[in-house]
Chains A and B, each alone.
Chain A
Amino acid sequence: MFIVAVASCPVGIAHTYMAAANLKKAAQAKGIEIKVETQGATGIEDELTAEDIARADGAIIASDVRIKNPGRLEPVPTLTVGVSEAVKDAKSVIEELVEAIG
C-alpha cells in the first residue's frame, strides 16, 4: 500500500514538520509506504509528483489552513484531519484511512 499526505499549519515552522514526521513513523510501523509533502513557512517541500498521486491508494491532509493545490488529490480517496491530530495521534489517523480504503 502507498499513501500520500500533505501537512500544513498556520505558522509553518513546527507543527507541519512534527505532523509529517509522526505520519511517516506511524506508517512505517505498519509497513505502509508513505510520502509526505510539507507546506510550511518556506513553501512546498517534498512535493507530491503526478506519479506519486497516480499510484497512491489514499491520501491524508493534515492541516489547519487551506492547503495549496488541493485539486491534485481529486482522484484519490482523501482523509482530512487537523494538523494537531496527526501530531498527537498519527497512528489513529493512518488506521482511519486504511480502514476507509480497505
Chain B
Amino acid sequence: MAEIQRKKKKNVGGVIRDAIMTGISYMIPVIVGGGVITAVAKMLGGYNIGADAASMETLAQVIFTIGNNLFAFAVPCLSAFIAYAIADKPGIAPGYAMGVLAGTMNTGFVGGLVGALLVGWFVLQMKKLNVPKALQGVMPIMFIPVVTTLVCGLLMWYIIGVPISWFMAWLTGLLASLSTVSKFGLGAVIGAMMCFDNGGPIGKTAALFTNGLNADGFFIPTSAKMCSGMTAPLGMAIAILLGGKKKFSEGERKQAVTCLLLSCCYIQECVIPFQLKDPVRLTASIMIGGAITGGLCMVFGLESPAVHGGAFVIAMTSNPLLYIGLWLLGGCISGVLYAILRRPLPEDYVDEDMDNPMLG
C-alpha cells in the first residue's frame, strides 16, 4: 500500500491494541447472543438451570444449552480474530486453538489474548520464511496451522500459560473476596472510565476488562459497566431539560430525545458532540454520575449476563428494579450537576448546525 507516513507513526503498542479491538468486535455478538439466550433460559427455568441443563428435558434446558454453546465460543472467537488481525487468514485456525486451550487451562480471556498475540507473531514469522516454490502452496494450509498450533500450544501449556493461570486464580479469588469499600472503588473506576470518553479508548478499556470477566462467568462488573454507560446520555437529556432555553440552543435541545432513546439502547456516542464543545464541565459531571452508579452496582452485587443491549436486557439482570433505579440515579446526578455547571448561552449565540449522525 502506498502508505502516507504520518508524523507520529503507529508503534507496536498501537498494532496490538488494534488487534485486540478487532478480536473484541468479533467477540461481542457471541457474548451478547450467548449471554442473552442463557439469561432467557434462567428466566424460564430458574437461576440454577445450568447445573442440570445437559439432560435437555425441558424447553428451558434446551434454550440454555443453545445459548451456552454459543457462549463457549467467546474466548476462542476473541483469540481467532486477534490472530487474524495480526497475521491475516492463516492466524484464524491456530487462534481458535489458543482460545480453546485457554478454556482447558482456566486462563480465561487473558490466556486467550496472550495466546492469540503469540500465534499472530509466530504466523507472521512463518510467512517470512523463504520456502521453495513447490512448497509455497502448502505453507498456509499445511505447515502454518500445524506448526504454529503445536509450537504455540506447547509454549502456552508448559511455560506462558502457567503464570497466567496463577494470575486468573488470584483475580478470581480477589473479586470474590472484595470488601464493600473496594467493591465500590472498582465499580466507580469502571463507571468513571465508561463515561470519560463515551465509547472512546478509555471506555473501551474498561469494557474490555468487564467483558473479559463476563466471558469467564463474572457478571457483576458487567452491570457496573453497562448501567454507568447508560447514565451519560440520560444525564445529557436531563441536563437539557433542566437547562432549558437559557443554556441550550434550539439545535441542542432537539438532541434531548435522541439522547434519551440512545440511553435506553446503551449507546453513549450522542454525548460526544456536547463533550467536544464543553469538555471539562460535561466530562466531570457525567463521570461523577457514572462512578456512583458503577460503584453501587458492585456493592449491591447486581449481575448482568448480557454485555450489551441496554434497556432491552434489563429484565435479564439479577435485579431489574435495582438496575433501573441505579440507572436513573446516575443519570439524575450527572444531569443536575451539568445543568448547574453549564454556562448560559451568550446573547448573540448563532445556532451551529449540529449534525448528529446518530439520528439517521
Q: Which residues of A contact B (CB under 8 A)?
A: 9-15, 17-18, 20-22, 25, 41, 58, 63-66, 70-71, 73-81, 84, 87-88, 96-97, 100-101
Interface pair B4/A10, CB less than 8 Å apart: no
Taking A77-B4, A80-B10, A84-B200 as contacts, is the C-beta distance between A11 and B272 under 8 angstroms?
no
Interface pair B199/A11, CB less than 8 Å apart: yes
Contact sample, A vs B, 12 pairs, CB 8 Å cutoff: A10-B25, A11-B308, A22-B357, A65-B18, A66-B19, A66-B84, A70-B1, A73-B1, A74-B1, A75-B2, A78-B1, A97-B4
Expressed in whole angstroms, the minimum distance between the Cβ of A11 and any Cβ of chain B is 6
Of all chain B residues, the one with the shortest Cβ separation from A64 is B21
Secondary structure type dominating chain B contacts: helix
Considering the chains assembled together, what is the distance between the CA atoms of A66 and B201 in angstroms? 16
Considering the chains assembled together, what is the distance between the CA atoms of A70 and B25 in angstroms? 17
Q: Which residues of B contact A (CB under 8 A)?
A: 1-4, 6, 10, 17-19, 21-22, 24-25, 28-29, 84-85, 197, 199-201, 204, 267-269, 272, 276, 308, 355, 357-358, 360
Expressed in whole angstroms, the minimum distance between the Cβ of B198 and any Cβ of chain A is 9
Expressed in whole angstroms, the minimum distance between the Cβ of B74 and any Cβ of chain A is 15
Interface pair A80/B358, CB less than 8 Å apart: no
Of all chain B residues, the one with the shortest Cβ separation from A77 is B2
Expressed in whole angstroms, the minimum distance between the Cβ of B214 and any Cβ of chain A is 15
Considering the chains assembled together, what is the distance between the CA atoms of A97 and B197 in angstroms? 26
Interface pair B267/A100, CB less than 8 Å apart: no
Expressed in whole angstroms, the minimum distance between the Cβ of A87 and any Cβ of chain B is 7
Expressed in whole angstroms, the minimum distance between the Cβ of A15 and any Cβ of chain B is 6
Expressed in whole angstroms, the minimum distance between the Cβ of B298 and any Cβ of chain A is 23
- Contacts A14-B358, A21-B357, A87-B272 aside, 9 further interface pairs with beta carbons under 8 A come to A10-B22, A13-B267, A14-B267, A18-B358, A20-B357, A71-B1, A73-B1, A78-B1, A81-B6
Taking A65-B18, A70-B1, A78-B1 as contacts, is the C-beta distance between A15 and B25 under 8 angstroms?
no
Expressed in whole angstroms, the minimum distance between the Cβ of A83 and any Cβ of chain B is 9
Interface pair A79/B6, CB less than 8 Å apart: yes
- Point out the residues of chain B lying under 8 angstroms from A77, CB to CB: 2, 4
- Point out the residues of chain B lying under 8 angstroms from A63, CB to CB: 18
Of all chain A residues, the one with the shortest Cβ separation from B82 is A66
Of all chain A residues, the one with the shortest Cβ separation from B19 is A66
Interface pair A65/B85, CB less than 8 Å apart: yes
Considering the chains assembled together, what is the distance between the CA atoms of A17 and B2 in angstroms? 25
Interface pair A65/B10, CB less than 8 Å apart: no
Interface pair B1/A65, CB less than 8 Å apart: no
- Point out the residues of chain B lying under 8 angstroms from A73, CB to CB: 1
Interface pair A78/B3, CB less than 8 Å apart: yes
Considering the chains assembled together, what is the distance between the CA atoms of A12 and B27 in angstroms? 12
- Point out the residues of chain B lying under 8 angstroms from A78, CB to CB: 1-4
- Point out the residues of chain B lying under 8 angstroms from A12, CB to CB: 25
Expressed in whole angstroms, the minimum distance between the Cβ of A102 and any Cβ of chain B is 11
Interface pair A11/B18, CB less than 8 Å apart: no
- Point out the residues of chain B lying under 8 angstroms from A76, CB to CB: 1-2
Expressed in whole angstroms, the minimum distance between the Cβ of B42 and any Cβ of chain A is 25
Interface pair B269/A18, CB less than 8 Å apart: yes
Expressed in whole angstroms, the minimum distance between the Cβ of B301 and any Cβ of chain A is 27
Interface pair A18/B1, CB less than 8 Å apart: no
Expressed in whole angstroms, the minimum distance between the Cβ of A10 and any Cβ of chain B is 4
Taking A14-B199, A15-B199, A21-B357 as contacts, is the C-beta distance between A79 and B4 under 8 angstroms?
yes
Considering the chains assembled together, what is the distance between the CA atoms of A100 and B25 in angstroms? 31
Considering the chains assembled together, what is the distance between the CA atoms of A58 and B1 in angstroms? 11
Of all chain B residues, the one with the shortest Cβ separation from A67 is B22
